[in-house]
Structure 1
């Protein structure tokens, strides 16, 4: 199936992109470079989505922990180096994770694991590793897949508690698809476990990543500038409320009454939102299926610490079920930026939740107190708090509850049949992807637009299947 773009007309665009996150920005830029007339619509007053950065008392911070995978395809890294230059820094990872009562480095070091973990847990890990060849095949749940790959000891100590914290449900109620798409995240534990059972010492892997000098938002800001320089019409504070498809074009209208037309639309909107605003509308069955596709919310608590760097680590992952805080990062440790202040730093605490949870309604100071309690529970240093502010994000992670595949397939099948509309990005495809994967998805979508102006649905389907089979790097 192919979609033919309309030719240039007054007030019309070859491509309209909805959503100025990483995928939307990259798609807009790439399409404009190919000579297309492109409009990019974003409901917020800034571009970047969750990849945007902002200032907290003069310190540039991100919305959670972001990194760029050093193993991303060379074409993508070449483009980003060309845009960012020396500001794209290659960094060595200095993360930690709390296992029992101990902090362990990420990636894991077998010698550290053998010294710090309790003997009882070490014995269970070693036993699980020795019996790995005899474990039953994967089941149809996240818990079953992870237990079959890393054993019950590590599942009970790390993956089970993290699953409940991030997704708000037991691993037995989470789809196996989530575990299969993140196979690489399980590998670092398996390497450490094998090293323990064979008496080896040393680091299981050497972690690294790319990160912009002034914050992760520099990447999307630079993409936005490149898109503008290439002729993209970027409109912020333009919330789309209707996507109407006709035989010859697509009309996109916004809440402030603006309307533009184009030959093709790339939508990064959440699938349930697209189902609600698209015309012709989907069937009642598809609407009901879209309503069952849910997202996890997130509270980000930014605590300003007086006195310089808090720790030397970039992030601390916290499976401990006694606190809802899942990760605490220190943005200045992700980069080498001489412009960062030396007399203060900022901690970013991530609290996955539902918007109906009690924690969602806490005020800023109560949330900062919760962070203090977490530091005390986990043995992390205290903070000399001088300021706190928070951000609440309603849709962060898609929830892969067991059986979600049926609902997603129903909605996705409907979306694939909409002429002149292509869904992509984390929200548009209901995927938990990394930034580099979102950018690659945008590249593939633009590459599917032929030189004669037709959108190649076959090429895009092949690209989507390739993306579906890909896995994320270790957390």
Structure 2
């Protein structure tokens, strides 16, 4: 059809932007549709009080594959900075550096907890725990003491349910953090003096905020010929014999030979034509997401702390993490007289905290600082963001519902799902970008999509996510 696209990409998050850019580099005609008025999705940055902030805590893994990292360096140059991690986690009444160091664990934690951690490590090989839930698997890996003081409370705050109601898949995606606890615990079991420990980790981060990365991807995509349409919310994906018709709420109809969708799977099921079976619709309705409240407090008086983020398992507050965006980067343009705190509150949209006004939420952050021994913030401004669908909830039994919906999605001709929301996964940005690369590589020169190559790529990502 005249004017038809080779590829239509739905969603301008990292995966959608990378896929559109790569496809255009291969000479394809690409249109990218985004319902927001800006690109980037949850990876976008914006200003609060004259400071660029992110939507939560974002970093680029230092183990990002070299080829992908080379592409990002080409886009950002020296603005893609290698940074030293300065994160902390609250355990009991103490703050510990992340990654954990056994010497600090031995020095800072209460003797009673240290004794339990060392004992758990010593008897770990004799411990038998059910491994089909988050709670069972984590207890078997780090022991009951650390589960009760760290992982159990964090799980309940993140997902809104006890760890024994969460699938073990969630635990398998936290291997690195559990590994640092095991290193510390084994060292404590060998010697209560606690010599040695985990190495300090680092990460990559753009000079002006994480959103600089997705903005660079968008600029590169436009330069390569991609048409990006913001404020274009898709309300219908109709597959015909020869093409796909994508309709937006403002009445536009875009046609193409292939669609890459990063929409949440339940949304795609709702707007697709032909519609899925009743079984798939019911399964998709059971795939749920956790909402996220972000509270930004502008602090007058320079940097609030020297740390980039503070993880808070403490069940007395719904705040799970407080980050300080300017500490993630070295940006001379950041103001010297103020900073911004970003408090993350996972929740449901039916929870009381979701309906609080901005000042009440800022007061809640103040209470959290007092409960956890963090410095008082000299608040001069507050802003909030409410995001309805953020992280998939891996409740026990979700696997069969996901299989039902994913099997339907795989059978849709000319439509490919990818990205965090499109595959109901909790991948990092580097993994989302790699998925986009693999999806474009699976498009043949004749425009047909190589389902075999894409299936092999997806299996590789699934193995890496479950590699424990």
Q: CA deviation at 1:312?
A: 0.1
Q: Which structure 2 segments of 5+ residues have no match?
A: none
Change (3 A) 1:432 1:99: same
Q: CA deviation at 1:106?
A: 0.2
**Worse overlay, 175-184 or 52-61:** 175-184
TM-score (norm: length of structure 1)? 0.97
Cα distance in 2 between the residues matched to 1:291 and 1:127: 44
Q: CA deviation at 1:454?
A: 1.8
Cα distance in 2 between the residues matched to 1:387 and 1:473: 44
The corresponding residue for 2:56 is 64
The corresponding residue for 1:32 is 24
CA displacement 1:54-112 (0-9 Å, x = unmatched): 00111000000000000011111000000000000000000000000000000111111
Match of 2:237 among 243, 255, 268: 243
Match of 2:43 among 41, 44, 51: 51
The corresponding residue for 2:108 is 116
The corresponding residue for 1:339 is 333
The corresponding residue for 1:440 is 434
The corresponding residue for 1:420 is 414
Match of 2:34 among 18, 38, 42: 42
Mapped contact 1:433–1:472 kept (Cα < 8 A) = no
Mapped contact 1:195–1:201 kept (Cα < 8 A) = yes
Mapped contact 2:99–2:177 kept (Cα < 8 A) = no
Cα distance in 2 between the residues matched to 1:447 and 1:39: 18
**Cα RMSD for the two superposed structures:** 1.2
1:134-213 equivalent positions in 2, closer than 5 A: 134-136=126-128, 138-199=130-191, 200-213=194-207
The corresponding residue for 1:127 is 119
Question: Is 2:228 the partner of 1:222?
Answer: no
The corresponding residue for 1:454 is 448
Q: CA deviation at 1:191?
A: 0.7
CA displacement 1:255-275 (0-9 Å, x = unmatched): 000001100000000000000
The corresponding residue for 2:69 is 77
Match of 1:296 among 290, 294, 309: 290
Mapped contact 1:301–1:348 kept (Cα < 8 A) = yes
TM-score (norm: length of structure 2)? 0.98
CA displacement 1:183-218 (0-9 Å, x = unmatched): 222111001111111224234122100000000000
**Worse overlay, 448-457 or 51-60:** 448-457
Cα distance in 2 between the residues matched to 1:15 and 1:137: 48
Q: CA deviation at 1:471?
A: 3.7
Cα distance in 1 between the residues matched to 2:326 and 2:458: 35
Between the two proteins, the alignment pairs up a number of residues equal to 466
Mapped contact 1:250–1:264 kept (Cα < 8 A) = yes
Mapped contact 1:69–1:473 kept (Cα < 8 A) = no
Q: Which structure 1 segments of 5+ residues have no match?
A: 1-8
Mapped contact 2:43–2:214 kept (Cα < 8 A) = yes
Residue 159 of structure 1 aligns to a residue whose secondary structure is: helix
Cα distance in 2 between the residues matched to 1:22 and 1:14: 20
Mapped contact 1:70–1:209 kept (Cα < 8 A) = yes
Cα distance in 1 between the residues matched to 2:199 and 2:136: 26
Match of 2:462 among 463, 468, 474: 468
1:349-364 equivalent positions in 2, closer than 5 A: 349-364=343-358
Question: Is 2:324 the partner of 1:330?
Answer: yes
